[in-house]
Structure 1
């Protein structure tokens, strides 16, 4: 009888279809209890365990297992939802583009057209009327002139934009204020004059008296030529008549001093610093450690605050024939990529800051009259215009895109100082400069010109002296002017100006209360203790007698001493002979204090009784000594016998 072989069925894995629990399939089928029945048994056991824990400890749901999730089912559901959202976004693409303010979103990120916009609606003043799909945003959180000059201010005429409704006067000294600087935040003002003084003004700490909180002479007996705060406002550059520029901190304490070069070296590129007096200087607008100076030695030098012992770069401007010329004014462009200077030969020369300074990037030879100083050059805020002020009584406006001929020449502007400057308004619509007094004039003026039409906008009568420096601060919207009589004036608009001098006017000038000094009176108490007894006032005679007895007050000379003490030696040991005798070990100690005559005469009696040297020699021939006749003439004067 043959045995029947045992056969095994196929075991396959199918994730799409659930495995049947019945035993109809071939093979052994499934082992153990069915899955559903096993789950019910596990849940029942868990419930019994939880009931037992609740009865013993009073805690429910202790040790409950985490809920099981079907990840595959969740992925299928998410995929189906994403396809439906993409289909609806494609249908509502055009409608979303019209409703969206900034611009259409990508189709896969679109929203349902039935959904409302999230958040409050956009304010009407931020939506441009001409194009509703754009938003006008204001950058920066600080108050500035750009925020104050809104659409209403743009419609105002240029004369009304000048903040000159109110004025404040500050007194620096009696000499001309030729240097002026305001820090970028507008909190402090620094003024420099030809009287060697630099004054610091703090608007937040001043009252209506308008007094500076510190005045110092940083460069000793050298007049101040230029002042400028750094881009961060933490330090100030001081350019004086010396060959060494200095950098001070906000409180006026010296931070560094540039090195002076060797004046006996011909090549100025081989020296570490300037060798002649400085003319001007300025900070880099973006690099806070870099500044520039120009000097009478014919060079411009770039410095770093980290290394004041040697310049970073040296620039040598040249004339038409190749000879050197002295730069009288220097400036950086607003973006910091261009270095410009005005020279004594009337030329304006520029270099690219990103390259080496061998070749110029732009040169204009006949910008101003030759052999006259170009006192100032200024770049516009947008960087397309350049203004130059010269001592040839002209102010010229240039377009850097066509830098061959000036856009306009403003003439008959007399300038007496080498520091008379020019500058642009914050919106570049005006250019302004100061004017020095001539013989027939009585009041110095600050003149404003339109950069588009080149017409005179207005002129402000400042003071009965020269107008040298003028700064229109863009954040404060205030104009600071340095005059020739030592007066610094500040013009502002009460409505459109911020902080600055407005903070000082509202503060009252409180005088310090004088402290009453009570003179100490003598109280006579006859029974007072000696400890509290006051010394009676003596007359001058008794006072002088008492001081005469005091060796310190009378300055009594030192008394002679017998032995050395306190660094002094006795008179007997102060000579070289006494030192040698005492240190060579003589048998007898020589007393230097006795009288030499007495020391010799004490041997006279012994010499007379016991002669040793002279008497024995004449004992036989001349027992009785015969002395020469004192009354008779000497042998040499005896008369000759006839």
Structure 2
């Protein structure tokens, strides 16, 4: 036998494993401990496939080693005459070749996983949920501890502060015309498909971005509250209902197309205790939907109460919250709002105070109460929670805007001044990432354009100033999904600002569409065309209403069976046509062919027929022909001959 070949006996491989050969196994174990996703606890399909590939490669290597041991021990050929002889040096060379390949495959898989993790990290426009933010903070802290990059993170934060101006979507501008009066209310659909606006002229307009063209015209306009200005509008969390707050005491809920679904009850104004009434008794000032309950909303009015309404069928209030002044007297709430998780209700009052209530407790006592939040006696027109829920922004008629921290609610974090507001519905809003605060101003005297201001919530500096219009800026809306800014003005216009790169859908769908005008068709008639039913003989009567048919039948004397007209003397009557006497009328109707002249002598008219009657008697003569004596008529005397004297009788004496 040759040296270096073994046919039987104990196997001892004097092959020293290098640290390089042991390193992949230790790293793989370390990776399995650090990343629970790699162990298959919650990874995706791609990660499981890669792990299976690694396991298959390791199983193949183990099978090769076990097969080699069996062949060396001669177990596979036990009982045969001659056992196979294997060269150990050759097997060692094979192991040295396969081991680097396994290490290279593992390194390639790790690089692929790291690359996919980098691809999954994208820029998020909207706000992150609190859980995700906490996880991100933990991961960043661990990474900074492992890599010792505290200085780098501080540099990145400073760069982010400098790049806040680039995050504002105002590269392009589109204008929508609501009317000629100030637009006091503005609300956007959560999905970003529609926009509604309400004005001081009682009108409410619906804007559909998918159906509009570059003309930017609303597809519906209505007056939901008759002769009351629209003060506030807001979509529900699902986007299928709209809360309408107007100048009257009854809030309304409309569906997506503007049809009324609910009208709140009105309370009894003669009851002094407002908790005993079924609804508000004074003008509404503000209202908002519950953040995640689609049938619950909050309203505030000038009767000193905030009311929570639940359900569209019951139309009943769930809770009545009373706002109190410093001396215990009644004060009115000018604005109200829920925080993001609906655990807190905040109200800005007309006396300049901020009052909050915890929804998990009784609404008897306030959770926070800052009496001198703004100048005493000035109305707080807007109160807005941040998306993270830790900060609160208020806007007042004292030309200030303040930022508050709910964890330290005694003093404001910062106060911005010289923000003139003319309307009691002027508001402010947070950016979707809570890094900026947006506020508009009314047009002051001596200024040609009203501006829109952007302030940083960390450094409190002015980031950007955008001139909007030559009128007042009333409402501002930064849609988190579209990343577009909507601003309502005092001259009835609504301006939309967007970025071509960072904004999506919304107004970008409308500006690319052009309005096509229909071309008028010109047709010259050459020959006369007669349709089959055009002639009067074949023309069918048009279907008329029953009233017109009755009027037409009334004019027809045959269909209406009109009675005979009364007999009147003179011309025009029935008697006048045949004579002036009744006898002439009777003779006319007896069938005489000749007309009777009433002006001639009756005797002559009768004697005219004497010869005909003597020759051809018809009526009287035939009856007395046998017994009729001979008629003797007196003869006429001459005119000069005197008449014979009558003899005297005894009676004359």
Which secondary structure does the structure 2 equivalent of 1:114 belong to?
helix
Moved more, 485-494 or 307-316: 307-316
- In structure 2, which of residues 28, 33, 36 is the aligned counterpart of residue 103 of structure 1? 36
Query: Would you say the 8 A contact 2:32–2:38 is kept in 1?
Result: no
Question: In 2, distance between residues paired with 1:225 and 1:248?
Answer: 15
Q: 1:494-509 alignment to 2 at 5 Å?
A: 494-509=500-515
The alignment's TM-score, normalised by the length of structure 1, stands at: 0.63
- In structure 2, which of residues 366, 371, 374 is the aligned counterpart of residue 365 of structure 1? 371
- In structure 1, which of residues 289, 298, 301 is the aligned counterpart of residue 307 of structure 2? 301
Show the counterpart of 2:544.
none
Question: Relative to 1, partners in 2 of residues 1:503 and 1:520: Cα closer, same or farther, differing over 3 Å?
Answer: same
Question: In 2, distance between residues paired with 1:393 and 1:326?
Answer: 20
Give the deviation of 1:95 after TM superposition: 3.7
Give the deviation of 1:241 after TM superposition: 0.5
Q: 1:235-634 alignment to 2 at 5 Å?
A: 235-514=241-520, 531-532=537-538, 551=554
- In structure 1, which of residues 165, 172, 180 is the aligned counterpart of residue 171 of structure 2? 165
Question: In 2, distance between residues paired with 1:452 and 1:431?
Answer: 10
Show the counterpart of 2:192.
186
Query: Would you say the 8 A contact 2:181–2:200 is kept in 1?
Result: yes
Give the deviation of 1:345 after TM superposition: 1.1
Give the deviation of 1:344 after TM superposition: 0.8
Query: Would you say the 8 A contact 1:435–1:446 is kept in 2?
Result: yes
Which secondary structure does the structure 2 equivalent of 1:163 belong to?
coil
Q: 1:96-175 alignment to 2 at 5 Å?
A: 96-98=29-31, 102-103=35-36, 114=58, 122-127=112-117, 144-145=125-126, 154=160, 157-175=163-181
Question: Relative to 1, partners in 2 of residues 1:259 and 1:517: Cα closer, same or farther, differing over 3 Å?
Answer: farther
Question: Relative to 1, partners in 2 of residues 1:472 and 1:518: Cα closer, same or farther, differing over 3 Å?
Answer: farther
Question: Relative to 1, partners in 2 of residues 1:120 and 1:235: Cα closer, same or farther, differing over 3 Å?
Answer: farther
Give the deviation of 1:501 after TM superposition: 0.2
Query: Would you say the 8 A contact 2:245–2:287 is kept in 1?
Result: yes
The alignment's TM-score, normalised by the length of structure 2, stands at: 0.62
Question: In 2, distance between residues paired with 1:108 and 1:221?
Answer: 63
Query: Would you say the 8 A contact 1:145–1:476 is kept in 2?
Result: no
RMSD: 3.8
Query: Would you say the 8 A contact 2:205–2:218 is kept in 1?
Result: yes
CA-to-partner distance for each residue in 1:410-442, whole Å, 9 max, x for gaps? Answer: 111111000000111111111111100112111
Question: Relative to 1, partners in 2 of residues 1:333 and 1:551: Cα closer, same or farther, differing over 3 Å?
Answer: same
Give the deviation of 1:551 after TM superposition: 3.1
Query: Would you say the 8 A contact 1:479–1:492 is kept in 2?
Result: yes
CA-to-partner distance for each residue in 1:593-632, whole Å, 9 max, x for gaps? Answer: xxxxxxxxxxxxxxxxxxxxxxxxxxxxxxxxxxxxxxxx
Question: In 2, distance between residues paired with 1:194 and 1:328?
Answer: 17
Moved more, 110-119 or 217-226: 110-119
Show the counterpart of 2:182.
176
Show the counterpart of 2:67.
none
Would you say how many aligned residue pairs link Structure 1 and Structure 2?
448
Larger Rg: 2
Query: Would you say the 8 A contact 2:353–2:371 is kept in 1?
Result: yes
Question: In 2, distance between residues paired with 1:531 and 1:120?
Answer: 95
Which secondary structure does the structure 1 equivalent of 2:272 belong to?
coil
Question: Relative to 1, partners in 2 of residues 1:359 and 1:125: Cα closer, same or farther, differing over 3 Å?
Answer: farther
Question: In 2, distance between residues paired with 1:482 and 1:383?
Answer: 26
Runs of at least 5 residues in structure 2 that lack an aligned partner in the other structure: 1-23, 43-50, 60-104, 129-155, 542-549, 565-653
Which secondary structure does the structure 1 equivalent of 2:465 belong to?
strand
Query: Would you say the 8 A contact 1:256–1:308 is kept in 2?
Result: no
Show the counterpart of 2:218.
212
Query: Would you say the 8 A contact 1:97–1:104 is kept in 2?
Result: no
Give the deviation of 1:373 after TM superposition: 1.2
Query: Would you say the 8 A contact 2:352–2:379 is kept in 1?
Result: yes
Query: Would you say the 8 A contact 2:125–2:432 is kept in 1?
Result: no
Question: In 1, distance between residues paired with 2:375 and 2:41?
Answer: 68
Question: Relative to 1, partners in 2 of residues 1:125 and 1:374: Cα closer, same or farther, differing over 3 Å?
Answer: farther
Question: In 2, distance between residues paired with 1:529 and 1:398?
Answer: 85
Question: In 2, distance between residues paired with 1:247 and 1:476?
Answer: 25
Show the counterpart of 1:52.
none
Which secondary structure does the structure 2 equivalent of 1:504 belong to?
helix
CA-to-partner distance for each residue in 1:483-514, whole Å, 9 max, x for gaps? Answer: 00000000000111100000001111112344
Show the counterpart of 1:225.
231
Which secondary structure does the structure 2 equivalent of 1:447 belong to?
strand
Question: In 2, distance between residues paired with 1:525 and 1:425?
Answer: 69
Which secondary structure does the structure 2 equivalent of 1:531 belong to?
coil
Which secondary structure does the structure 2 equivalent of 1:401 belong to?
coil
Question: In 2, distance between residues paired with 1:209 and 1:190?
Answer: 17
